[in-house]
Amino acid sequence: MKKLISLFLALAMTVSFAACGGKNTDKTDSQDTTTDSAGSGEIIEAFGKPANEIGVTLVLNTNLGDHAICDLSNQGLQEAAEQYGFNPTVVELGGDVTLQVPTMQEYAEDPDCDIIIAGTSNLKEAVQQVAQEYPEQMFILYDAQDELGLENVFSMDHAQNEGAYLAGVAAALLTTSDAELANPEKIVGFVGGGQNTALEDYLVGYIQGVHSVDEEIDILVSWIGDFKDTAKGMELATAQADQGADVIFSVAGVAGLGTLSGCAESGIYSIGVDSDQYTSLIETDPTTAANICTSMYKQANVTVSKLLGMALDGTLEMGTYVKWGLKEGVVGLATDNDNYQTIFTDEMKAKIEEVQTAATNGELEIISAIGLDTETLQELLATASAQ
């Protein structure tokens, strides 16, 4: 069975796989980072063997190169591997849902693979199925949207609604200002990848943040339909700019790079996602980076590294679910780069900092789409204009 799955994957995927504990030949350039660092030759009590005999496989729903959550997740994997000395493998699924289950079955059957860590919620059903088929295999799912209720699965969510709230405040402050690229219209935009609960969580937070500054600001909302189509992302950004939007929040993975480019071509501001996309793009695409006023970061690198550390330390409570946000420092706004410091006035920066402090301290109620009843969710979404 395993050989048949391996053959199927080798033919069907755009990348090749590496055995979790052995050689790595996939095109992600995920290197064997087993080192002589502390712990690499020491017995890891939770697994009963040395760290350099422990295999960890990171399964990504889409691809590396997104300058966002996939790249950050891989960064966290490699940082944890460097610290603990385990053998890391990265698998890119390229958005192909037909590969989710057989890929996880492949690694669940591999005796050298001790931990399968997967992101994002698009992999939830596959994790749920395979985890039940292989109850002895440890699974970690981040951006899960809820608890899976399985003893061999740890699931977590980032409170992206909290970070998106700050992005909404930033967008509203810009569109109502005399900033260089702001126009007289009070219109901002949101371009998402595939519409799902996690992406709606961003949107719900963004809407609340925008309207906390000015309820009369119009919010244009467009969905690309996937996380790969950069041309569609650019097209939607251009269309929103033509309708008067002067700031667009892009939440679309690789496709979002097209949205950011479209904003630059249209001469309007963009807000990136997951990583500080101004900093990550300034060397390779300075034209696009120049219009990224800030980014709503979701530090998947910190999350992945921390979760793997907890698993190896034996402190990860399997079968449970947690949610980390502003308080835990894993979401927020990128404020340290030159563009943010230049584009936003001191008054704007003070307002954003004030809101972030209040939200972190629990003084603001920021509604989340995750777990929200359908009626309330639709009422919130209706306050923005679908395109």
- 324 phi and psi angles, rounded to 5 deg: -115, 140
pLDDT at 41: 75
The pLDDT assigned to 38 comes to 44
pTM over 0.85: no
pLDDT digits (tens, 9 = 90+) for 118-164: 998 889 999 999 999 999 999 999 998 888 999 999 999 999 999 99
Amino acid making up residue 6: S
Kind and range of the H or E run holding 89: strand 87-92
Low pLDDT (below 50) residues in the chain:
1-39
From CA 191, how far away is CA 222, in angstroms rounded? 5
- Kindly report the CATH number that applies to the domain delimited by 2-158+300-324: 3.40.50.2300
94 within 8 A of 63, measured Cβ to Cβ:
yes
Tell me what pLDDT residue 18 has. Answer: 36
Q: What is the pLDDT of residue 32?
A: 40
pLDDT of the residue at 20: 41
List where CATH 3.40.50.2300 sits in the chain: 2-158+300-324, 160-298+345-386
Q: What is the per-residue pLDDT for 14?
A: 36
Spatial separation of the C-alpha atoms in residues 61 and 5, rounded to whole Å? 18
Degrees (nearest 5) of the Cα angle 165, 330, 125?
Answer: 90
Determine the pLDDT at residue 40: 63
Q: Domain 160-298+345-386, CATH 3.40.50.2300 — does that match?
A: yes
